[in-house]
């Protein structure tokens, strides 16, 4: 087992940005280290260096006192370092078993996916990571894909395990299960580096914290008498403004009306079963549920991305069932998708281009087929400045932004359209504490203007902070719709598990 791993004076810059400015950290066998910091602080960069994906400009890495050099993640894996990424790195057209066989050193050349099945089942059992080995990756929800990523790392037998925001997409129950797995691995002598924006969670399990801000290490502390606000302050550099409590803004007028909706999954099984609900103007309706219970299919059907089997959808009294995604968008229904890199942005395009992805054809942005680049740039720059997106310029490819900054960009882009209805799926997933409070406050402001929001979230704290009512989805059905003022996190959590 690796006894001690050191990263010493690591520097790495990208054009216009010093992502890692002389950062050092050490981790010992059996330790859980919390790596914290705002979006864009440099956490993933530092860990990608440790995992061999990025080479540092300077600095060294030592394992048990010996210098190591990684020119690829293959080298890092050989050195028994494993990483679960913030963005899933699975092959969508392959099954779970095939994806895992690809990285499995023990897999055979012929029928590689067959031998791995037993080991997947064993891991699934030991760690409670339930997964269907025959499902295709593209059919899985974000939460399920995350489970596959975790199994993948466990299969390579890593001793230093980096988890980059592993619990962002998990439910409270799943997250606490993962935390107990992490603790189990640590007591076995593994070293765990955990990146998360969920401070309560990290305080409950880490031995030590390293805090980064703008590429620099701003703090290193032991887990004795550490509280949330101390850490938050080290991360953000100032006190945090939590979402203001809300007064009801609803006029009682129905904006969005969904009746007896039935939608199928990619496997042609019923995914949304006879769901009916209405959203009022000036209301935030939350949908709580474990990911994979039909949320994805429901929102895709409502945005025109998935066929509706039966049922009707009305918007401002007009029928919009089976309208195209663009027609629905132009009616005033915006969408913040779950998988931001697949549906939210186009990674290789610049921020300018991404800012107008869904409206480049409008007259502000184009003239007889020619794009009006200066208008587009102004628009992108206003999103960047209003939503505090850390980016060196709007001319860079959006895939170069840190995860949380991409999400802030999408939220800004959609809210700037001032949509009548916003369908938001995990809008603060991976977003740091300062920015997620900012987004939640923006949602409240949007609602105060009489607009409506459908908020799909697994973060119950978030739902209770800003939603007026919460619907609990379980196996494609709405089990209950309750006013947040008349229920509790415990009650909703219970219904989420099908109890």
Ligand X SMILES: Nc1ncnc2c1ncn2[C@@H]1O[C@H](COP(=O)(O)OP(=O)(O)OP(=O)(O)O)[C@@H](O)[C@H]1O
Identify which range of 331-339, 362-370, 403-411, 463-471 contacts ligand X by CB under 6 A: 403-411
Residue nearest to Mg ion (CB): 44
Q: Which residues, 345 to 364, sit near Mg ion by CB under 5 A?
A: none
Per CB under 6 A, does 402 bind ligand X? yes
* Structure tokens belonging to residue 274: 């006879």
DSSP of 329-397: HHHTEEEE-SSIIIII--TTSBHHHHHTTTTTTSTTTEETTEE-HHHHHHHHHHHHHHTT---S-TTSB
Of positions 73, 86, 141, 145, contacts ligand X by CB under 6 A: 86
User: CA nearest 466: which of 479, 453, 478?
Assistant: 453
Ranges of beta strands (E only) in 97-151 are none
Q: Which is nearer to ligand X, 14 or 242 (CB)?
A: 14
- Decide if residue 298 touches ligand X (CB under 6 A): no
Q: Is 43 in the site for ligand X (CB under 6 A)?
A: yes
Q: Which residues pair with 257 in a beta bridge?
A: 278, 314
- Smallest separation, CB 14 to ligand X (Å): 3
Strand pairing of 66-68 and 81-84? unpaired
**Is 428 near Mg ion (CB under 5 A)?**
no
Distance CA 8, CA 58 (A): 9
Query: 429 and 169 in contact (C-beta within 8 Å)?
Result: yes
Largest Cα span, the chain: 69
State both tokens at 383. 């999103």
Task: Provide the minimum distance between the beta carbon of 218 and Mg ion in the complex, in angstroms, as a whole number.
Answer: 16
Contact flag: residue 403 with Mg ion (CB under 5 A)? yes
Question: Which residues, 6 or more positions from 224, have their beta carbon under 8 angstroms from its beta carbon?
Answer: none
Q: Name which of 98 and 432 has its Cβ closer to Mg ion.
A: 432
Residue 264 touches ligand X, criterion: CB under 6 A = no
- For residue 41, state whether it binds ligand X (rule: CB under 6 A): yes
Query: Contacting ligand X (CB under 6 A), which of 27, 34, 36, 44?
Result: 44
Residue 404 binds ligand X (CB under 6 A): yes
Per-residue binder mask for Mg ion (CB under 5 A), 76-115, x = binder:
----------x-----------------------------
Provide, rounded to whole angstroms, the least separation between the CB of residue 434 and ligand X: 11
Of 11-50, binders to Mg ion (CB under 5 A) are 44
Q: Which is nearer to ligand X, 41 or 249 (CB)?
A: 41
Question: ∠ CA(331), CA(333), CA(337), 5° rounding?
Answer: 145
Is 433 near ligand X (CB under 6 A)?
A: no
394 binds, among Mg ion, ligand X, none (CB under 5 to 8 A by kind): none
Provide the pairing of β-strand 477-483 with 469-474: antiparallel
Return residues touching Mg ion (CB under 5 A): 44, 86, 402-403
């Amino acid at each position: 087992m690796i006894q001690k791993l050191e990263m010493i004076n690591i520097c790495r810059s990208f054009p216009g940005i010093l992502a890692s400015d002389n950062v050092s950290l050490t981790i010992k066998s059996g330790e859980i280290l919390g790596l914290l910091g705002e979006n864009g602080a440099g956490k993933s960069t530092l860990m990608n260096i440790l995992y061999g994906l990025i080479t540092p400009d300077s600095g060294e890495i030592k394992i048990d006192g010996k210098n190591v050099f990684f020119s690829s993640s293959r080298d890092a894996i050989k050195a028994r370092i494993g990483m679960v990424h913030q963005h899933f790195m699975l092959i969508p057209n392959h099954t779970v078993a095939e994806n895992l066989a690809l990285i499995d050193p023990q897999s055979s050349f012929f029928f590689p996916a067959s031998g791995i099945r037993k080991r997947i089942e064993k891991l699934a059992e030991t760690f409670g990571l339930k997964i269907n080995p025959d499902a295709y990756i593209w059919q899985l929800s974000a939460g399920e894909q995350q489970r596959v990523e975790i199994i993948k790392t466990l299969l390579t037998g890593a001793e230093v395990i980096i988890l980059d925001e592993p619990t962002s997409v998990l439910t409270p129950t799943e997250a606490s299960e993962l935390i107990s797995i992490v603790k189990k691995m640590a007591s076995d002598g593994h070293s765990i580096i955990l990146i998360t924006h969920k401070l309560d969670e990290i305080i409950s399990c880490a031995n030590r914290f390293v805090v980064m801000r703008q590429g620099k290490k701003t703090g290193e502390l032991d887990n004795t008498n550490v509280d949330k606000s101390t850490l938050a302050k080290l991360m953000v550099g100032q006190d945090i403004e939590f979402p203001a409590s809300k007064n009801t803004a609803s006029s009682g007028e129905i904006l969005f009306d969904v009746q007896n909706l039935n939608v199928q999954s990619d496997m042609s099984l019923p995914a949304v079963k006879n769901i009916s609900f209405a959203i009022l103007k000036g209301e935030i309706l939350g949908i709580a549920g474990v990911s994979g219970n039909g949320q994805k299919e429901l929102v895709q059907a409502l945005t025109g991305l998935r066929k509706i089997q039966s049922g009707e959808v009305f918007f401002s009294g007009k029928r919009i069932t089976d309208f195209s995604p663009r027609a629905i968008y132009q009616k005033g229904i915006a969408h913040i998708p779950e998988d931001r890199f697949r549906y939210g942005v186009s990674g290789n395009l610049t921020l300018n281009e991404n800012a107008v992805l869904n409206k480049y054809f409008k007259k502000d942005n184009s003239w007889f087929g020619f794009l009006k680049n200066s208008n587009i740039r102004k628009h992108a720059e206003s999103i960047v400045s209003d939503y505090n997106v850390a980016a060196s310029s709007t001319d860079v490819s959006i895939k170069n932004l840190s995860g949380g900054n991409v999400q802030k960009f999408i939220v800004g882009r959609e809210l700037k359209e001032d949509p009548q209805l916003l369908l938001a799926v995990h809008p603060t997933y991976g977003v740091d504490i300062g920015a997620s409070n900012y987004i939640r406050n923006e949602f409240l402001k949007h609602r105060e203007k009489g607009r409506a929001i459908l908020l799909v979230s697994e973060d119950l704290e978030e739902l209770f902070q800003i939603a007026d009512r919460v619907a609990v989805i379980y196996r494609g059905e709405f089990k209950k719709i309750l006013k947040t003022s008349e229920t509790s996190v415990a009650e909703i959590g219970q219904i989420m598990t099908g109890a």
